[in-house]
């Protein structure tokens, strides 16, 4: 029996290298997606438990939900903080530094998200870092803008949480590691943005700077990132 020649060994190693170069990025991408799905579900659990605790003492219908009202946003965020494991409280407003990735938050189509700031997301937001490695930004907005307005109800203002499930790590993109959850009057608990069977902006082919804003319901329903 004769062994492999040097040329044969080099050819074999070259083939292995090519296959690895083709498959590793796909594998890493799938692993990252899986980790982000798990992180999103964990964030949903944290928000749900905190909301139930807050609402038990301060019913949701009594909250001052008004877009661009920083004092109202701050008041409700103060109710939540005892139920979060906050490692850094960055306060409220566009000078709330250090609780969000300094790189721009991207839409699913690669555009810079319109409401993203280096310090958080929204206009009159409050921001914090949690011990679970999650960055959180909290603000008030309309129900329709987050895909949670039902056909038979008015377009009321709602409180929403943006969560970056892996902190400052990339990709800092809506629908991949940044997800939205909503609390609104007349409902109990936290609602994932969008609808499980019709998250209309959860597509990289959406041309707006909001692409990916309503992916949370779809990801929870499918238990995967499929777009």
15 falls within a domain: yes
How many other CB atoms sit within 10 Å of the CB of residue 44? 20
Looking at every residue in the chain, the average pLDDT score rounds to 82
pLDDT higher than 60, residue 36: yes
42 falls within a domain: yes
- Categorize the per-residue pLDDT at 3 as very low, low, confident or very high, splitting at 50, 70 and 90: low
227 falls within a domain: no
pLDDT higher than 70, residue 122: no
φ and ψ at 179, to 5 degrees?
Answer: -130, 160
- Categorize the per-residue pLDDT at 130 as very low, low, confident or very high, splitting at 50, 70 and 90: very high
177 falls within a domain: yes
**CA angle in degrees (0–180, nearest 5) for 57-58-62:** 155
Instruction: Check residue 155 and give its pLDDT.
Output: 55
pLDDT tens per residue, range 69-107: 778 888 888 999 999 999 999 888 766 678 888 888 899
93 falls within a domain: yes
160 falls within a domain: yes
13 falls within a domain: yes
115 falls within a domain: yes
pTM equals: 0.82
Q: How many domains does the chain have?
A: 1
Higher pLDDT, 137 or 148: 137
DSSP for 71-107, please give it: HHHHHHHHHHGGGS-EEEEEEESTT--SSS-SSPPBP
Domain encompassing residue 218: 6-222
Instruction: Check residue 17 and give its pLDDT.
Output: 73
């Amino acid at each position: 029996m004769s062994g492999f020649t040097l040329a044969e060994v080099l050819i074999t190693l070259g083939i292995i290298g090519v296959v690895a170069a083709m498959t590793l990025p796909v594998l890493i991408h799938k692993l990252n997606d899986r980790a982000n799905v798990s992180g999103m579900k964990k964030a949903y659990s944290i928000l749900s438990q905190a909301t139930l605790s807050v609402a038990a003492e301060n019913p949701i219908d009594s909250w001052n939900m008004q877009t661009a009202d920083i004092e109202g946003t701050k008041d409700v965020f103060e109710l939540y903080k005892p139920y979060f494991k906050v490692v850094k409280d960055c306060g409220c407003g566009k000078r709330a530094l250090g609780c969000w990735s300094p790189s721009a938050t991207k839409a699913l189509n690669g555009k810079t998200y319109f409401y993203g700031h280096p310090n958080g997301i929204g206009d009159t937001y409050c921001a914090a870092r949690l011990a679970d490695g999650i960055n959180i930004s909290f603000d008030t907005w309309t129900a329709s803008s987050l895909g949670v307005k039902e056909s038979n109800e008015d377009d009321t203002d709602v409180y929403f949480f943006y969560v970056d499930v892996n902190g400052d790590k990339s990709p800092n993109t809506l629908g991949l590691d940044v997800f939205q959850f909503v609390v609104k009057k007349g409902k109990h608990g936290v609602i994932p943005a969008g609808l499980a069977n019709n998250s209309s902006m959860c597509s990289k082919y959406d041309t707006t700077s909001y692409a990916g804003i309503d992916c949370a319901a779809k990801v929870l329903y499918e238990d995967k990132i499929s777009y």
